[in-house]
Amino acid sequence: MLPYGRQSVTEEDVEAVAAVLRGDWLTTGPAVAAFEEELALWTGGVPCVSVTSGTAALHVAYSAAGIGPGDEVVTSPITFVATASTAHLLGARVVFADVEPDTANLDPAAARAAMTSRTRAVTAVDYAGHPAEYDELRAVADAAGAVLVADAAHSIGSAYRGRPVGSLADLTTFSFFPTKTVTTAEGGAVAVPDPARRARAAAFRNHGLVRDPARQREPGHGGWHQEVHEFGLNYRLPDVLCALGVSQLRRLAAFRSRRAALAARYGTLLSGLPGLSLPVRRAHADPAWHLYPVRVHDGRRREVYDRLRAAGIGVQVNYVPAYWHPAFEDLGYRRGMCPGAESYYAEQLSLPLFPGLTEAQQDHVAESLATVLR
Ligand SMILES: *Cc1c(COP(=O)(O)O)cnc(C)c1O
C-alpha cells in the first residue's frame, strides 16, 4: 500500500544515530542541546525544549502556561485529539470553535465568540502545514489575557507574513512522528520565547527537578541533592533520537521544497476534475505542506476512500472532529457544535505526500482518483 506519509531516512541519518550509540550519552547528553539549537534555526531563533512526542509537547506547553482546573482552552476540532485531550488531562475545559472553510484552520471570529472570563489559552492548529491567522488570533488571545498556543505538528518550516512558525505564538509545539515533515521516530518540541515559561517547560519535562542550589529550599544537603517543587514527568527525548533529529533538520529545506513541488504537481494533475476541490493557499502564507488535503464533493468521500484503498493507494482522512470522539461525547459534547468543521470532515481526503513519492506514483494517484470521479 502506498502510504499517505512516510519518513525519509538516509544512510547519513543511520550513521548519526549509530555514532551516538557508540558513545557515552544515550540520553541527557550533548545531542539534546545540539538538536534544540538546530531546531531554533527554524523558529526564528526562539529557543526550544525537546520532548518525547507532539502529545508531550502539548502537555508541557499547557502546563508551562499554568493551565489547570477551572480554566478554558479554546481550540479547533479539525486536529488530532491530543491538541484537546492534553488540556483536559490538566483539568481544563476544552471549548471548540469552528474553522475557516478554505484552510480548515481555527476561525479567529469563532475563537473570539468562544472566549469567556475563564479562557486561559487559545490553541491554533496549522492544519496540513498552512499557518493559521496569527495576527487576528493574537488580538483575540491578548484581549482576554490568554496565551496563544500553536500546535505546529504539521507546519515546521512554514511561514506567516514572512515570520517562521515557532515565532508566532507564546508556545509552539512540534511533532516528529514518522509521517510528519521531520522525524525522530517519536519526538516533539516546544518553542517558547519567554524565559520563565521556558524554564517551567524544561522542568516539567524532567520531573520538576530543581538542581540549582540557589533555587533549592534546603541547599545544604550536599552535591547529590535535588528537589521537586512542582510535579512533572519524564518527557526527555534521548540523545539517540536527537541525533536523528539534527540530521533530519539539515534536510528540512530539501523536504520542504520537495513537498512544495509535489503539491504544485498535484495542483496541475488534478485541476478541473469534477467533484473535487484542492487545498487553498492564502497569499500571505508560505506553507511547508505536511498533508495534501482535497475535498470530495457530492457525498462521495467514503466511496473514493474505499476505492483508492482497494487500489493500493493509502489515502487518509484528517480528522474526525475532535469532539466526536466518545471520550468527549461522554463529557456532553454534542454533534452540530461546529458545522464548518463537520462539513469539512465529511469531504476531506489526504492524498499521499512525502519526499520519497515519485512522479510515477503521483501520476498513478491522480489517474486513479480521476477514474473514480469520472
Ligand atoms: C501528530 C499530531 C499531534 C501529536 O503528535 P505525536 O508526536 O503523534 O504525539 C498533535 N497534533 C497534531 C495536529 C498532530 O498532527
Domains in the chain (CATH in brackets) are 11-249 (3.40.640.10), 252-373 (3.90.1150.10)
Q: What is the pLDDT of residue 122?
A: 98
pLDDT digits (tens, 9 = 90+) for 238-269: 999 999 999 999 999 999 999 999 999 999 99
Ligand 1 atom with the smallest distance to the CA of 55 is: 9
With contact defined as beta carbons under 8 Å apart, do 150 and 126 qualify? yes
pTM: 0.98
Q: At what angle do helices 359-373 and 301-310 cross, to 10 degrees?
A: 130
Ligand 1 mean position to 54 CA, how many Å? Answer: 5
Ligand 1 mean position to 141 CA, how many Å? Answer: 23
- Which burial class, exposed, middle or buried, applies to 116 when counting CB atoms under 10 A from its CB (0-12, 13-18, 19+)? exposed
- Nearest-CA residue for atom 7 of ligand 1: 54
With contact defined as beta carbons under 8 Å apart, do 68 and 88 qualify? no
Look over the chain and give the mean of its residue pLDDT values, rounded to a whole number.
Answer: 98
Q: Residues with Cβ < 8 Å from 49, sequence gap 6 or more?
A: 36, 60, 189, 190, 192, 198, 201, 202, 205
Ligand 1 mean position to 237 CA, how many Å? Answer: 16
Q: What is the pLDDT of residue 176?
A: 98
- Which burial class, exposed, middle or buried, applies to 255 when counting CB atoms under 10 A from its CB (0-12, 13-18, 19+)? buried
| Residue from 171, 177, 320, 348 to probe ligand 1 pocket by mutation (most atoms less than 8 Å from CB) | 177
Using pLDDT thresholds of 50, 70 and 90, give the confidence band for residue 61: very high
Q: List all residues whose CB is within 6 A of at least one atom of ligand 1.
A: 53-55, 79-80, 82-83, 125, 151, 153-154, 175, 177, 188
In whole angstroms, how far apart are CA 369 and each of 13, 28, 310, 320, 350? 34, 48, 12, 22, 12
Residues known to be catalytic: 180
Ligand 1 mean position to 344 CA, how many Å? Answer: 19
Summarize the confidence of residues 320-329 as an average pLDDT.
98
Q: Which amino acid is at 315?
A: V
First to last CA, the chain: 23
- Nearest-CA residue for atom 15 of ligand 1: 153
Task: Tell me the C-alpha distance between 111 and 96, whole Å.
Answer: 8
pLDDT digits (tens, 9 = 90+) for 122-151: 999 999 999 999 999 999 999 999 999 999
Q: Which amino acid is at 272?
A: G
Task: Tell me the C-alpha distance between 12 and 247, whole Å.
Answer: 7
Q: Could you tell me what percent of the chain has a pLDDT over 70?
A: 100
Q: What is the pLDDT of residue 286?
A: 97
pLDDT digits (tens, 9 = 90+) for 269-279: 999 999 999 99
Ligand 1 atom with the smallest distance to the CA of 180 is: 1
Q: Which amino acid is at 217?
A: R
Ligand 1 atom with the smallest distance to the CA of 175 is: 7
Ligand 1 mean position to 81 CA, how many Å? Answer: 8
| Residue from 80, 290, 348 to probe ligand 1 pocket by mutation (most atoms less than 8 Å from CB) | 80
pLDDT digits (tens, 9 = 90+) for 99-122: 999 999 999 999 999 999 999 999
pLDDT digits (tens, 9 = 90+) for 22-51: 999 999 999 999 999 999 999 999 999 999
Q: What is the pLDDT of residue 265?
A: 98
Write out the three cell numbers for 345: 470532515
Q: Of all helices (H) and strands (E), which one includes residue 365?
A: helix 359-373
Q: Indicate the DSSP class of residue 299.
A: T
Three-class SS string for 90-151?
A: CCCEEEECCECCCCCCECHHHHHHHCCCCEEEEEEECHHHCCCCHHHHHHHHHHCCCEEEEE
